[in-house]
């Protein structure tokens, strides 16, 4: 069961940054879902409610389409 947290704690940040693989998911307004594996040490936690990653592999077209 998933949990919703108020923010990223220092403990969770360390765990996230130690991972070699993570997944990014987006969903279009019509309900179409896209799940992409990411890696290559490209995830950074910028704050308790903000993360960033480099989209260095793949086209990213599906993710970009969901952000419009």
Tens-digit pLDDT profile for residues 38-64: 888 888 999 999 999 887 655 556 656
pTM of the predicted protein model? 0.63
Distance CA 62, CA 48 (A): 27
Which comes out higher in pLDDT, residue 8 or 54? 8
The pLDDT value given to residue 49: 94
Q: Residue 4 contacts by C-beta under 8 Å, 6 or more apart in sequence?
A: none
Work out the angle at residue 2's Cα, subtended by the Cα atoms of residues 10 and 25, and round it to the nearest 5 degrees: 85
Q: What pLDDT, on a 0 to 100 scale, did the predictor assign at position 1?
A: 72
- Rounded CA-CA distance 34/51 in Å is 18
Which structure tokens are listed for 57? 């592999």
The reported pLDDT for the residue numbered 67 is 62
């Amino acid at each position: 069961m998933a949990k919703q947290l108020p923010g990223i704690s220092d403990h969770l940040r360390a765990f996230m940054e130690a991972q070699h693989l993570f997944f990014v998911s987006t969903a279009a307004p019509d309900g179409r879902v896209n799940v992409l594996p990411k890696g290559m040490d490209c995830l950074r936690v910028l704050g308790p409610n903000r993360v960033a990653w480099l989209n260095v592999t793949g086209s990213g077209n599906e993710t970009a389409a969901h952000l419009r």
